[in-house]
Chain A
């Protein structure tokens, strides 16, 4: 199941669309992604496009490296 979620995530789908594609509850997909994040397998997206605020502090996600707004 986790492999399926990661495969769909790798296609660029947001968690709710992953849930729809796999026929799983949103909660289970979010849980799987949280677990994967704890294992270091995925990095949480952030910024205006995702609806989540950008992180602060020195430990920014790798995904922020190319952002012109990242200091």
Chain B
């Protein structure tokens, strides 16, 4: 079981862990914390946001040690520079709403022992008992660097366990030491940096004591090959990187990987999504309708066309999310994601983002929902949030059906150019909105830490990936699914309830339903954009749920057959041409283009919205929806007003 609460909605992690002692995993990014956490807790974990933040925390039960385990965000230092580091610093200090911890399991990366020891020293100064897990020894050995666990234990005065989180080696020994340390915390006090003597600047004195301690421990435990200051030997990863990180190799490889991801979330996922949708809506829907045949029509309609349709939408997204989580985990686990970030870094920095943002933004052009899920690869919560706000502006393939149909009707001589213009505008919107947000709401975004080491290439661990994928897909189905089912059920009710006499519930044309009246009511808002008509506003309302159904909604509104191929609109095209020409005063092309721009810029779909709410909380989601509606309206009005003059 798992859950994932939006910011501010979840309980403090420590409070979720019964009355067991709470143990926190602390270490720099890429040290193997999450792998260790997954190996220790299995499926007994929850994914929550640290209260009041959008920083993701995983909590679970480590049965072997009989403790609750919290996987704190990776931190380079407890002098926090990012929200993620602040959550870790607060938890170690026992302040803030993230809860207190009884014991810290500090992971020391043998390939970057100095940085890990620096963090251990800071944890020790905070007064927490510590058990140390020493990871990456094999990678360090391949570089000619050795760190002796026994010597480290002697230097620190606390248990040190050699670990391989990928295989689970050392986990039982670590659990035994953790259990013992919880029972006797005094046996796990690090002989850390001494309190500095009073000086002119206490911060400098503290730092001197810390670095003196780090270099002292390092000299005692680390063995490096001879050479200037112990320069490490060249590894296989270094040799691969010497080729892969060159622009003329790295950029084509990155493009190929992005193309493959794009194919995965479109070509490969669509048949699976269709199959699940058909199985739930068709097979199970038929069964359910049969069982409910004796019940009143509205009961069957509500359960089958409302609730079950919502459930089908959620479940049909599950394979797509699963594919995305696996793909991201494989890229991350293999070490390639860090290289992709390196190659794309310069372009992404243009909008103040980390290079890793290239992955979710590219995936967004396939589907926004898995793209949001892919933001978890970004290192900081604020970067994840900024990227998550930009993703809905990437034009997903669902919007393509609307572009194709309107381009075929209104720009028959240049439909390709009109569609291309939408994608160009989408890219410009991402860059423009990124620059705007970076200079306003996200002024606090910080650059990467001074040192960013590329992890060694490794073989992905399929079992661990399968476990984490299962947990995350369930979190999506459980949390985002609730929002989707509730909203689709509400839409069904609005469409089923008549607003004019002479109709029965569930047997009412759209224009006479409450839904149709709402669409009619908001239609004048689109007057300045040239499409003040209830057919158009009704299609936009339906498009709020999913862009795939915009064309179908229009066909339903005009009571014509939905075209098999959106580029051959038939009767629907004739109706649309007449409507847009009428509402725009003869500038139907400009109005249609404005409509396409509105479809591009406003909320992509309900599933995207639910995923945003799950990841970033309802407040940010509401802000994003409002901002996109305003942006879409302003853009479409500008496009129409300029277009009608041409």
Contacts and interface: CB of A to CB of B under 8 A. Distances in A.
Interface of A: 1-3, 19-20, 23-28, 30-39, 41, 44, 53, 55-59
Contact of A53 (B215, B349, B451): B349
B350 interface: yes
Nearest to A36: B207
Question: Closest 10 A-B residue pairs measured CB to CB?
Answer: A34-B450, A38-B79, A1-B211, A30-B451, A2-B207, A27-B114, A57-B352, A28-B114, A57-B438, A25-B229
A10 to B, nearest CB: 14
B425 to A, nearest CB: 23
Q: Is the interface of B mostly helix, strand, loop or mixed?
A: helix
Contacts of A23: 229
A33 B349 CA distance: 23
Contact of B439 (A32, A36, A58): A58
B208 A2 contact: yes
Interface in B112-133: 112, 114-115, 118
Nearest to A59: B443
Interface in B190-214: 203-204, 207-208, 210-212, 214
Given A25-B114, A30-B451, A59-B443, A2 B211 contact: yes
9 contacts: A1-B211, A2-B204, A2-B207, A30-B450, A34-B76, A34-B451, A38-B77, A56-B349, A57-B445
Given A35-B79, A53-B349, A27 B438 contact: no
Contacts of A1: 208, 211-212, 215
A35 B118 CA distance: 10
Contacts of A37: 450
Name the prevailing secondary structure of the A interface residues.
helix
Given A19-B229, A31-B118, A57-B438, 14 more contacts: A2-B207, A23-B229, A24-B229, A27-B112, A28-B114, A28-B218, A31-B451, A41-B204, A44-B450, A53-B349, A55-B447, A56-B349, A56-B352, A58-B439
A37 B77 CA distance: 12
B189 interface: no
Contacts of B215: 1, 24, 28
Given A35-B77, A37-B450, A39-B79, A27 B211 contact: no
B81 interface: yes
Nearest to A46: B447
B346 interface: yes
Contacts of A31: 114-115, 118, 211, 214, 451
Interface in B217-253: 218, 224, 228-231
Contact of A56 (B350, B449, B451): B350
B330 to A, nearest CB: 29
Nearest to A34: B450
Contacts of A25: 114, 218, 224, 229-230
A55 B214 CA distance: 31
A46 to B, nearest CB: 9
Nearest to B210: A35
Contacts of B114: 25, 27-28, 31
Nearest to B81: A38
Nearest to B442: A57
Nearest to B214: A28
A48 to B, nearest CB: 13
Interface string B45-84: 0000000000000000000000000000000110101000
Nearest to A61: B447
Most buried by B among A3, A19, A20, A57: A57
Contact of B443 (A20, A36, A38, A57): A57
Nearest to A28: B114
A33 B81 CA distance: 14
A44 B449 CA distance: 10
Nearest to B451: A30
Nearest to B85: A38
Given A28-B215, A57-B439, A58-B443, A33 B450 contact: yes
Nearest to A26: B229
A55 B303 CA distance: 55
